[in-house]
Amino acid sequence: MRIEILGAAAGGGFPQWNCNCRNCHSLRAGSFAAKSRTQTQVAVSNDGRAWFLLNASPDLRVQIERTPALHPRGPGRDSPIAGVLLTSADIDQIAGLLSLRELQPFRIYCTSSLRRILQEDNSVFGMLNRVPQQVCWMDITVDEGFPLVTTEGTNSGVCCEVFSLGNKYPVYVSPERATTLKPKEALLGLMVTASSGGRLAYMPAVPAINERVLQLLETADLVLFDGTFWSDDELIRVQGSGATAQEMGHVPVSGVEGSLRTLAGLQRPRKIFVHVNNTNPMLDESGSEYHELRAAGWEIAEDGWHFNL
Ligand SMILES: [Zn+2]
């Protein structure tokens, strides 16, 4: 299975358009040992022909263009992108769907709760179903496995299983609507298994690390994990106000309950942070935070990285 990291930053990207924090300012000034990143986006393929997007970032159009494997191959209109799997209804995970609206047939795999938010409450996504042979919505169920299917309808060799990581829907989902949705479908973690048996754990947003998450991660060969914030009060310190990492649904990297410490015993998988916010001090590759995570066996994903499992 080929895995392409198309983007590795949290919402807003790095640098973020309206941010002049130390990281963003230094990066623009060219005086920073760090790399720019687009918003988190991953693509996987078992055979290098049929590709599947894990979520759909707001930067998707640019990310597809700079990834030759995702370019059209046939004459005229064509795309190797056979499907998109959604792990939440966050704008950062769904906005890219609007860049895939040019009457191309593909499948969207999501829970019935997410499908209702997109199809029933947000009419703009109706553009994905302007003609009969366009997007096919595939309801998926928490804790059940399912195959990703090629455009022709054959098994791609990639199997997925989703599990619940949280019960908070995005703030744009009205409280009235949220009461009609299944809490456990609000935020999913994903395990992707290739025909080779290689396993990718994809968790760009993790509110808390429980025993189940630990067990799942230990069965993976590659872990792409929530690296949004270094510390719980990071945004408050940088901006002067705001929410904590935990309030925003992200376990911080550092601290007593942080991922570095909680996942210290993880032996089997290669461990890589994705979804890194522009304020995160670990982006500075000359800094102590970066050296601390490297010493703990972690890496920070960069746009353009790829893996084979
Ligand atoms: Zn910034």
- Confidence (pLDDT) at 265: 94
15 CA to middle of ligand 1, Å? Answer: 6
- Confidence (pLDDT) at 242: 86
152 CA to middle of ligand 1, Å? Answer: 43
16 CA to middle of ligand 1, Å? Answer: 6
What is the pLDDT confidence band of residue 276, given thresholds at 50, 70 and 90? very high
206 CA to middle of ligand 1, Å? Answer: 22
Over pLDDT 90: what percentage of the chain? 97
The residues, any chain, with a CB within 8 Å of residue 119's CB and separated by 6 or more, are: 125, 126, 137
14 CA to middle of ligand 1, Å? Answer: 7
pTM more than 0.85: yes
294 CA to middle of ligand 1, Å? Answer: 22
Angle at 270 between CA 96 and CA 97, to 5 degrees: 5
168 CA to middle of ligand 1, Å? Answer: 25
24 CA to middle of ligand 1, Å? Answer: 4
- Confidence (pLDDT) at 240: 86
143 CA to middle of ligand 1, Å? Answer: 37
pLDDT at 241 over 90: no
Q: What is the pLDDT of residues 116-145, one digit of tens each?
A: 999 999 999 999 999 998 999 999 999 999
- Confidence (pLDDT) at 44: 98
**Cα(189)–Cα(35) distance, integer angstroms:** 27
223 CA to middle of ligand 1, Å? Answer: 26
Q: What is the pLDDT of residues 179-219, one digit of tens each?
A: 999 999 999 999 999 999 999 999 999 999 999 999 999 99
User: How much helix, strand and coil, in percent to the nearest 5, is found in the chain?
Assistant: 25, 25, 50
20 CA to middle of ligand 1, Å? Answer: 5
Q: What is the DSSP letter of 168?
A: P
19 CA to middle of ligand 1, Å? Answer: 4
What is the pLDDT confidence band of residue 307, given thresholds at 50, 70 and 90? very high
80 CA to middle of ligand 1, Å? Answer: 34
Separation in Å, CA 265 to CA 225, 232, 262: 15, 22, 8
CA gyration radius for the chain? 19
60 CA to middle of ligand 1, Å? Answer: 21
> What's the burial of 168, exposed, middle or buried (CB within 10 Å: 0-12/13-18/19+)?
middle
DSSP alpha helices (H): ranges in 252-300? 259-262, 288-295
220 CA to middle of ligand 1, Å? Answer: 32
User: 196 is written with which tokens?
Assistant: 């080779």
263 neighbors 272 (Cβ within 8 angstroms): no
